[in-house]
Amino acid sequence: MEQPYSKYPIETQKWFTAQIDQRWGQLHSLEKEWSAKAVQTLFLTNAGGAAATLSFLGAAPEQIVNDAGVKWSLALFVLGLIFVGLVIAKTYYRMSGLLRAYKREASKFFHDQIAWDELCKEDDKRAEDGWLDHLLPWTSFILFGAGCGYSLFG
């Protein structure tokens, strides 16, 4: 096992502290960025979807409004928007979790409870994508494509 933090020379401790501060800054920036994107995107997609739906329903003849194809196409677009919201929410919570976990691990490092290599290894493990990180955006994209296809050919 590596030596504990307090046993390193002061210059090495300063280097470790600078590395941790840099990573905290990076994770905090990611959390802020995704928080802003989540709020902005959810507002825009919901407002845009509502406005588009109301405009279409107000302008379309009754036989088109009652057509099952139009309803299916609209439903697929709405589901796609819901999945976009899920992607953004999941990403935000993931970034927030990375920051909290890194702070917790860094505190353990500073209190000589874990070594530097373990701190870095755990951070690397947490940063790996899971299957849901790929499934949600692809589902949204497929629903968008299906909605386009259904509106054109359905």
Whether residue 112 lies inside any domain: the answer is: yes
Q: How far apart are CA 81 and CA 144, in angstroms?
A: 8
The structural domain count of the chain equals 1
Whether residue 26 lies inside any domain: the answer is: yes
Whether residue 131 lies inside any domain: the answer is: yes
Q: How far apart are CA 31 and CA 124, in angstroms?
A: 17
What local confidence, expressed as pLDDT, does residue 104 receive? Answer: 95
Q: What is the CA angle 44-50-54, rounded to 5?
A: 145
Confidence of residue 23 (pLDDT cuts 50, 70, 90): very high
26-42 average pLDDT score? 84
Whether residue 102 lies inside any domain: the answer is: yes
Question: Within a 10 A sphere around the Cβ of 37, how many other Cβ atoms?
Answer: 13
Lowest mean pLDDT among 2-11, 28-37, 61-70: 61-70
What local confidence, expressed as pLDDT, does residue 109 receive? Answer: 94
Whether residue 1 lies inside any domain: the answer is: no
pLDDT in tens, 65-100: 677 777 787 788 888 888 888 988 998 899 899 999
Percent of the chain residues topping a pLDDT of 90: 37
Whether residue 19 lies inside any domain: the answer is: yes
pLDDT in tens, 93-126: 998 999 999 999 999 999 999 999 999 999 989 9
What local confidence, expressed as pLDDT, does residue 51 receive? Answer: 64
Confidence of residue 54 (pLDDT cuts 50, 70, 90): low
What local confidence, expressed as pLDDT, does residue 78 receive? Answer: 83
Whether residue 16 lies inside any domain: the answer is: yes
User: Which range of residues forms the domain containing residue 32?
Assistant: 8-153
Is residue 30 predicted with pLDDT exceeding 60? yes
Contacts of range 74-77, beta carbons closer than 8 Å, 24 or more positions apart: 74/147, 75/147, 76/143, 76/144, 76/146, 76/147, 76/150, 77/49, 77/143, 77/144, 77/147
Whether residue 27 lies inside any domain: the answer is: yes
Helices within 60-115 (DSSP H only): 62-65, 68-110
Confidence of residue 6 (pLDDT cuts 50, 70, 90): very high
What local confidence, expressed as pLDDT, does residue 31 receive? Answer: 86
